[in-house]
Amino acid sequence: MKFSMAKALPLLALLSVSTAFGSTAYTFTSNSGSNSYKVIITVDSLGIGGTGDLIVQLINNTAASTNAADTTMLSGVYFTLSGSVGALNTPTSWYSGTSSSDTSDPVVTLSQDGTYTTTYTNLSQMSSSALRWKNLGSGDNVDLSTLTGGSPNELIMGALGGTFNPSVTNHNPTIVGGATFVFANVAGISSATTVSSVYFDQGTAASPSNANGPNTETAALTSTVTTAAPEPASFGLIGLGLAGVTMLARKRRA
């Protein structure tokens, strides 16, 4: 009996879909005066029900010698996503630096003389109730900020060093270096989602959600990186699809 490709099409379709997973990373930087900020925004296709992950990594590269006032500290980032995106509010996970085990970017309590104590070795140790960072934007406009009411804290400073005035120490604890925020399983997010109109918020004066407030800095797109390789789970689906096609062919030949 001949092998029927028509019978195998559903399995081949599974194979083709599984290879569509991937991610696109957008890197934006701002270097205004002595401040140096970077954000890496990654949109990741999950291939499950049209959802994906949005990952926002904020980095403050400002030199320690300029840490005296809070105007050098990162308090938020604003950007626009293409397409129709589902609700974004509190991140589903968060951590310092580039991983939840990174201890080089701790959360600290600062003193005016430049000394500090470590509150958390990594931001991931902070509970959701203590996390100040939220999305204040709506629709396709994301306004990820720590200026979410009351006396703000958890701003992101550059490297430790120097002394601090009360505009810094009144807003403890402080994140050192960088922080990553993940919004998982968001409807409408895929590797094809684009990012535009990026602004950085600095200091503790809240800016309006249109990112035209007094303490915002515009950011320029410096690079995008597209990864088309399937995720590890996808390889399992590919293997399953190929095995199914082979078994079907053998059965038809019997």
254/246 Cα distance (integer angstroms)? 13
Output the pTM of the full model: 0.81
Find the helix packing angle between 232-253 and 5-18, rounded to 10°.
Answer: 170
Q: Are residues 47 and 160 in the same domain?
A: yes
Q: Rounded to whole angstroms, how far apart are CA atoms 31 and 73? A: 13
Q: Are residues 207 and 144 in the same domain?
A: yes
Give the Cα separation of 111 and 69 in Å (integer).
13
Do β-strands 174-176 and 156-157 pair in parallel, antiparallel, or remain unpaired? Answer: parallel
Looking at the fold, whether 221 and 210 belong to one and the same domain comes out as yes
6 and 30 share a domain? no
Q: Does residue 113 sit in the same domain as residue 76?
A: yes
Q: Which two tokens stand for residue 103?
A: 């201890």
Query: Is there a single domain that holds both residue 114 and residue 28?
Result: yes
Q: Are residues 65 and 177 in the same domain?
A: yes
Q: What domain range includes position 2?
A: 1-19+232-254
Per the document, the length of the chain is: 254
Contact in structure between 208 and 87 (CB atoms under 8 Å): no
Retrieve residue 242's tokens.
């190929």
The amino acid present at 252, given as its one-letter code, is R
| Sequential pLDDT tens for the chain (254 residues) | 444 544 443 433 333 333 356 899 999 999 776 789 999 999 999 866 789 999 999 999 998 877 778 888 999 999 999 999 999 999 999 999 989 999 999 999 999 999 999 999 999 999 999 999 999 998 899 999 999 888 899 999 999 988 899 999 999 999 999 999 999 999 999 999 999 999 999 888 765 555 555 567 889 999 999 886 554 544 444 444 444 444 444 555 55
State how many domains the chain has.
2
Q: For 83-125, how does the pLDDT look when each residue is reduced to its tens digit (9 = 90+)?
A: 999 999 999 999 999 899 999 999 999 999 999 999 999 999 9
- In this structure, the answer to whether residues 58 and 143 fall within a common structural domain is yes
Exposed (0-12), middle (13-18) or buried (19+): which is 189, by Cβ within 10 Å?
buried
SS3 call for 176: strand
> What's the distance, CA 245 to chain centroid?
39
Q: Do 73 and 182 belong to one domain?
A: yes
- For 185-198, the pLDDT digits (tens) are 999 999 999 999 99
Whether 9 and 71 map to the same domain: the answer is no
> Is the same domain home to 135 and 190?
yes
User: Is 132 found in the same domain as 61?
Assistant: yes
